[in-house]
């Protein structure tokens, strides 16, 4: 496997640690949910491992996607600084005001067109059990996924902190040609929230989401480096194997390109 470095690929996807994913596409380098702090205690969440490579090893970043800015496991202190200093941030309307003047909040199904020709569509996500949806339409906090499209490049779906298969089914209906899915798993849980039920996909539900999307390649993130993840890589591999879709799972050491 090739380590992620400042050198860009024509296309590439790699996980650095936790939810933090690097995507090279259409000449751009995109970072998803940057978390670059060392291990530490955030009160109700504990970070157990730092990133596999530092932010400085990524070189210039063109775009940061922040699924939500309310939780340190998706945007820690160093990650927030990286986002604020980047040329462009796409996130939720509730997170955008705290991420600098170059941050733009997108509502579900809103499309952003980059000057390069890249298009990013915001998608819905539920950060917890479906029976906990607030009148505002979210669980826990407002969260977005993203579909990334560019001429001549694979179409990429980034799910964000999502526990809803219904949300994935709607993405699959609107975008039947997803080539690569980046799914957050880990069965994240906080005992004081929602009867300790999962706030993100369990491994089994990540495999189910992969089947719904029918994506030929799947990269799983958000399953290591934090104490509140109940499941890890071995659970993901088991779930995909039991579902008979082990071949679509693209595994690589953290800090290396999965694709």
What does the pLDDT look like over 29-74, one tens digit per residue? 999 999 999 999 998 899 999 999 999 999 999 999 999 989 999 9
- Rounded to an integer, what distance in angstroms lies between the CA atom of residue 188 and that of residue 46? 12
> Which distant-in-sequence residues (6+ apart) come within 8 Å of 38 by Cβ?
47, 50
Strand pairing partners for 41? 46
Assess if residue 118 is contained within a domain.
yes
H-assigned helices in the chain: 77-85, 165-174, 203-213, 233-242
Question: Of 118, 1, 174, 190, which Cα lies nearest the Cα of 15?
Answer: 1
pLDDT tens, position by position, 186-202:
999 999 999 999 999 99
Question: Of 9, 27, 20, which Cα lies nearest the Cα of 64?
Answer: 20
Quote the pLDDT of residue 1.
74
Assess if residue 258 is contained within a domain.
no
Residue located via tokens 């004081």: 192
pLDDT tens, position by position, 130-181:
999 999 888 889 999 999 999 999 999 999 999 999 999 999 999 999 999 9
| Number of folded domains that form the chain | 1
3-state secondary structure of 160: coil
- Rounded to an integer, what distance in angstroms lies between the CA atom of residue 63 and that of residue 65? 7
Segment 16-28 mean pLDDT:
97
Helix axes 203-213, 233-242, angle to 10 degrees: 50
CATH number of the domain enclosing 37: 3.60.15.10
pLDDT tier for residue 83 given thresholds of 50, 70 and 90:
very high
**Is residue 25's pLDDT more than 90?**
yes
Assess if residue 259 is contained within a domain.
no
Assess if residue 3 is contained within a domain.
no
Segment 92-108 mean pLDDT:
96
Segment 4-22 mean pLDDT:
97
Assess if residue 131 is contained within a domain.
yes
Assess if residue 5 is contained within a domain.
no
The residue range of the domain holding 135 is 11-251
The DSSP line for 164-212 is -HHHHHHHHHH-TT--EEEEE-TT---TTSGGG--SS--HHHHHHHHHH
Quote the pLDDT of residue 125.
96
Is this model's pTM higher than 0.75 or not?
yes
């Amino acid at each position: 496997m090739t380590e992620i470095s400042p050198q860009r690929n024509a296309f590439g996807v790699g996980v650095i640690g936790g939810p933090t994913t690097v995507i090279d596409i259409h000449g751009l380098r995109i970072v998803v949910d940057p978390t670059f702090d060392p291990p530490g205690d955030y009160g109700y969440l504990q970070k157990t491992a730092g990133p596999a490579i530092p932010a400085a090893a990524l070189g210039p970043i063109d775009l940061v996607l922040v699924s939500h800015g309310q939780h340190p496991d998706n945007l820690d202190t160093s990650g927030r600084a990286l986002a604020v200093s980047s040329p462009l941030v796409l996130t939720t309307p509730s997170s955008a005001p705290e991420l600098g003047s170059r941050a733009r909040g997108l509502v579900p199904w809103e499309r952003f067109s980059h000057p390069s020709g890249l298009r990013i569509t915001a998608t819905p996500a539920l950060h917890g059990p479906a029976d906990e949806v607030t009148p505002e339409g979210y669980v826990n906090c407002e969260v977005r996924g993203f579909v990334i499209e560019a001429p001549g490049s694979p179409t990429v779906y980034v799910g964000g902190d999502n526990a809803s298969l219904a949300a994935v089914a709607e993405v699959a209906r609107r975008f039947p040609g997803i080539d690569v899915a980046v799914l957050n798993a880990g069965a994240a849980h906080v005992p004081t929230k929602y009867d300790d039920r999962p706030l993100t996909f369990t491994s089994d539900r990540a495999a189910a989401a992969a089947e719904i999307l029918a994506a030929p390649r799947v990269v799983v993130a958000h399953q290591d480096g934090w104490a509140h993840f109940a499941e890890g890589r071995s659970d993901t591999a088991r779930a995909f194997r039991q579902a008979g879709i082990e071949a679509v799972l693209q595994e690589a050491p953290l800090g290396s390109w999965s694709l």
